Chain A
Amino acid sequence: MSDIAAPKLLRAPASQRAFAGTPWRRAVILAGFALIWELYARWLDNPLLLPTMGATLSALWSAILSGELPDRTLTSLRVLTTGYAIGVAVAAILTTLAALSRWGNEALGLLTSMFNPLPAIALLPVALLWFGVGTPSLIFVIVHSVLWPVALACHGGFLAVPPTLRMAGRNLGLSGGRFVVEILVPAAFPQILSGLRIGWAFAWRTLIAAELVFGVSARSGGLGWFIYTSRAQLETASVFAGLLTVILIGLVVEGVIFRTLTRLTVQRWGQEQA
């Protein structure tokens, strides 16, 4: 067959390229929020209810300098990533079994419909009975909060893989675990990625909430405990500094890790979808 020539591409003019991206719009929105906060807090003039942004930032700065906030953050992140990793691993095992057998499929369907609506925090009393006050209890509730939404997203993604693509894989003689890992997982990656995102958000919420309920102990508590103790001491600016830290970490994970992952995978493969 004769060669098909590659298409020629032109570069868009610089002025057009500069305004094409989204970062500057986000910066404008963020600056707007900051301005509203600062003005409203000044007008309210009640630092116990709503500290100004300046006060919050200086509380944040001193908490960072004292080493307390980085310590707390690291503690939280360590628990969070452990629980997240276990949750994702268990979800991977369950969905692989579900993809390979009818029994696994039914079991996963039943389990997710039973446990997905159950708030992780509701399991905290049970976790305290089983594991006592400490990190294992926290990890238990985080695993619960991550496992079901991730499993549900993976499973849904597997079911949505086009039959032609499945047949193309089986045509090469693929079956079992290799078929799941090399065909189903990449084909369902858009859904898996959004499941991982939701799982990450759920894990964060659950962790902070659990720490607020029982801060483990003063010495090894995480960010939730930092917020809780600051409130008990009526240091509202520090409460806000703690919340701000949670938000910043969320932004970094979403904006750097997940966005990079999206760009390197589903965008590159032309699979991006809502």
Chain B
Amino acid sequence: MNVAPRLAGLVGDAVSPPLLALDHVSISYPTRDGILTAVEDVSFTLSAGERLVLLGPSGCGKSTLLRTVGGFLKPSAGEIRLHGKRIVAPGPDRMTVFQEFDQLLPWRTVLGNVRYALERGKSLPRGQAEEVARHWLTRVGLKNFVDAFPHTLSGGMKQRVAIARAFALEPALLLMDEPFAALDALTRRQMQDELLKLCEETGSTALFVTHGIDEAIRVGTRIIALTPHPGRLAASFDVLPESRVRGTAQFAELERQIQQSVFADPEAEYV
């Protein structure tokens, strides 16, 4: 009688589900000219603390895949599980930072945006939500802009607000949909470094989508390359901490490897 629960516990430990599991996921949607398959038969898992980068050229379905993990789209085959439970709808346990600057609510201040997200996503009372929001805005360097409205901010600052909002909700999984693609090269580099620091400090688990090889190496612990039309897994690379430092031989070597294995023409510009 008392063997069964213990056994169940043992089995549970042995096959403890990964944080995120994609199981033969295909995503297709109807267009005017017929049904388009954006992602085909993709499987991978992600454990806590990992930062997995989905790398690929435009049109490889990487953003579609990310949105499906976010719960905004439904897979047409296969399933996606978070903590072993099937994802059916969006939720604050998977906060997304989008590429577009209009992800902030224009009618709320910088502080209001983060506070509102905490009030709705974590059901915090107003005072506590404000405290947490201030803490995170200070961490992303926006202490002096808490009362500004989003339209008065630069693109990089808007992304900082979105990042603060995502981190403030302490999601199980952070989803980053090319968050720096619309920024200038200098700001992008700075934001990559700062994001990396935040992720390492908080031990966050993240799924990051990008088409930049150097960005992938910089922010990820593991990189999965996708082929275009439709998106399929092409290759996987582990990023060692020493490869993550720009300008080192290891960084250049990994960059070269990825470029060679993913893109037929090694000279192709892919940044």
Partner pick for B107 among A2, A5, A162, A265, CB 8 A cutoff: A265
Residues of A close to B120: CB separation below 8 A: 172-174, 182
A-contacting residues, B55-89, CB 8 Å = 67, 70, 72, 89
Query: Are A171 and B142 closer than 8 Å at their CB atoms?
Result: no
Q: Can you list, as one digit per residue, whether each of A1-29 has a CB less than 8 Å from chain B (1) or not (0)?
A: 11111100000000000000000000000
16 contacts between A and B (CB under 8 A): A3-B138, A4-B141, A6-B145, A164-B100, A165-B105, A167-B67, A167-B90, A167-B103, A168-B98, A171-B70, A171-B90, A173-B92, A183-B105, A187-B105, A268-B149, A269-B149
Is B102 positioned at the interface, with any CB of A under 8 Å from its CB? Answer: yes
A171 engages B144 (CB within 8 Å)? no
Cβ of A168: which chain B residues have Cβ within 8 Å of it? 96, 98, 103-105
Pick the most buried of A6, A162, A269: most chain B CB atoms within 10 A of its CB: A269
- Chain B residue at minimal CB-CB distance from A183: B105
What's the minimum C-beta distance from A94 to chain B, rounded to whole angstroms? 23
Is A170 a contact of B150 with CB atoms below 8 Å? no
Are A165 and B103 in contact, with the CB atoms below 8 A?
A: yes
In the bound complex, CA of A189 to CA of B108 (Å)? 13
Q: Tell me which residues across on chain B come within 8 A of A182, comparing CB atoms.
A: 120
Expressed in whole angstroms, the minimum distance between the Cβ of A143 and any Cβ of chain B is 29
Asked whether B103 lies within 8 Å of A4 as measured between CB atoms, the reply is no
Indicate whether B172 reaches chain A with its CB closer than 8 angstroms. Answer: no
Asked if A1 and B139 make an inter-chain contact with CB atoms under 8 angstroms apart, the answer reads: yes
Q: Which of A85-109 contact B (CB under 8 A)?
A: none
Beyond A171-B121, A187-B105: 10 further Cβ-contacts under 8 Å? A1-B194, A3-B142, A3-B144, A5-B144, A165-B102, A168-B104, A174-B120, A270-B106, A270-B149, A271-B107
- Asked whether, in the complex, the Cβ of B100 is within 8 Å of the Cβ of A162, the reply is yes
Give the 3 A-B residue pairs with the shortest CB-CB distance, closest first.
A270-B151, A1-B141, A6-B144
Residue B2 at the A interface, CB < 8 A?
no
Cβ–Cβ < 8 Å partners of B104 in chain A: 168
Q: Chain A residue with minimal CB distance to B98?
A: A164
Contact B100 A186 (CB under 8 A): no
Q: Is B232 an interface residue (CB 8 A)?
A: no
The reply to whether the CB of B160 lies closer than 8 angstroms to some CB of chain A is yes
Interface residues in B88-144 by Cβ distance below 8 A to A read: 89-92, 94-96, 98, 100, 102-107, 117, 120-121, 138-144
Q: Are B90 and A4 in contact (CB under 8 A)?
A: no
Pair A172/B121 contact, Cβ less than 8 Å: yes
A271 touches B106 (CB 8 A): yes
A269 and B157 within 8 A (CB): no
Tell me if A171 and B92 are in contact (CB < 8 A): yes
Q: Contact: A4 with B142, CB < 8 Å?
A: yes
Residues of B within 8 A of A165 (CB): 102-103, 105
Residues of B within 8 A of A162 (CB): 100, 102
Task: Pick from A167, A168, A174 the residue with the most CB of B within 10 Å.
Answer: A168
Per-position 1/0 for B249-268, Cβ under 8 A of A: 00000000000000000000
Q: What is the chain A residue whose CB lies nearest that of B70?
A: A171
Chain A residues near B138 (CB-CB < 8 A): 3
Known contacts A1-B160, A171-B90, A173-B121; A164 and B141 CB within 8 A of each other: no
Q: CA–CA, A183 to B108, complex, Å?
A: 11
CA distance A270 to B145 in the complex (A): 16
Q: Chain A nearest CB: distance from B248 CB in Å? A: 24
- Interface residue B152 (Cβ < 8 Å from any Cβ of A): yes
CB proximity to A under 8 Å, residues B177-217: 194, 197-198
Docked complex Cα distance between A269 and B108 (Å)? 8
Chain B residue with Cβ nearest A166: B72
| Cβ-neighbour of A167 out of B70, B105, B144, B197 (below 8 A) | B70
Q: Across the interface, do A171 and B95 meet the contact criterion of CB distance under 8 Å?
A: yes
The answer for the CA separation of A273 and B157 in the assembled complex, in Å, is 23
In the assembly, what is the distance between CA of A96 and CA of B245, in Å?
A: 52
Q: CB-CB < 8 A to B92: which residues of A?
A: 171-173
Chain A residue contacts of B100, Cβ below 8 A: 162, 164
User: Which residues of A lie under 8 Å from residue B103 when comparing CB positions?
Assistant: 164-165, 167-168
Bound together, the chains give a CA A271 to CA B139 distance in angstroms of: 28
Q: Which residues of B contact A268 (CB under 8 A)?
A: 149
Please determine whether B105 and A186 come into contact, CB atoms closer than 8 angstroms: yes
Residues of chain A contacted by B143 (CB below 8 angstroms): 3
**Complex contacts, B198 vs chain A, CB 8 Å:** 1
Q: How far is the CB of A188 from chain B (nearest CB, A)?
A: 11
Q: How many Å from the CB of A179 to the closest CB on chain B? A: 10
Q: Given the complex of chains A and B, what is the CA–CA distance between A164 and B104 in angstroms?
A: 9
Q: Which listed residue (B90, B139, B144) contacts A170, Cβ 8 A?
A: B90
A152-195 interface code vs B (CB 8 A; 1 in, 0 out) = 00000000001011011011111000000011001101000000
Interface residues of B in 153-185 (CB under 8 A from A): 157, 160
A189 & B107 in contact (Cβ 8 Å cutoff): yes
- Give chain A nearest CB distance to B51 CB in angstroms: 18
